[in-house]
Amino acid sequence: MHTTGSCFCGAVEWEAEIDENVLGVCHCRDCQVFSGSAFRMSGGNPQNFKFTKGTPKFFDKKADSGKVRRMAFCGDCGTHLASLPPEGEDDSFVSIRLATSRDFAQMKPMAEIFCDSKAAWMPELEGTIKFPKMPG
């Protein structure tokens, strides 16, 4: 599906094609800290992702895999929008913070990753494939 999204204040907007059948939630500590919540939703193998309005700020963070990921966020309101490969790397994997999509209400996860650090009080999500860490 084609989807578009925006940060809270509207200074930065994005668009992408995503596969709504392969969405997931991530329970890793980084996602909990960055989102300020119990988990973060992403996935969908984004294609043709681009920022269509404004310019995000970037923060380079080292992922669990040892790879550097560029975290894109709005420099005005602080909303996290996506993580991207670092500049100059051919790894094209983009992860969109799907809660910023205008279509978020219709999105449903099919997988959960990093369940090892899932909040203890969270009920089981029905119908998801669960992985203790990043799936191999």
Considering just the CA atoms, what is the radius of gyration of the chain in Å? 14
Options 34, 51, 68, 76; binder of Zn ion; rule CB under 5 A: 76
Strand partners, 13: 6, 53
Using the rule CB under 5 A, give the single segment among 15-23, 70-78, 89-97, 117-125 that binds Zn ion: 70-78
Out of 1, 22, 77, 134, name the contact with Zn ion by CB under 5 A: 77
**Whose Cβ is closer to Zn ion: residue 68's or residue 88's?**
68
Q: Mask: binding to Zn ion, 12-51, rule CB under 5 A, as x and -? A: --------------x-x--x--------------------
Which tokens in the block code for residue 9?
Answer: 């204040």
Nearer CB in complex with Zn ion: 3/40: 40
Residue from 9, 33, 63, 122 in contact with Zn ion (CB under 5 A): 9
Assigned token pair, 128? 């998801």
- At 106 the three-state DSSP class reads helix
Please say whether the dihedral angle defined by the alpha carbons of residues 45, 50, 52 and 53, taken in this order, is positive or negative. Answer: positive
Nearest 5°: CA angle at 15, between 92 and 133?
50
Binding residues for Zn ion (CB under 5 A): 7, 9, 11, 26, 28, 31, 74, 76-77
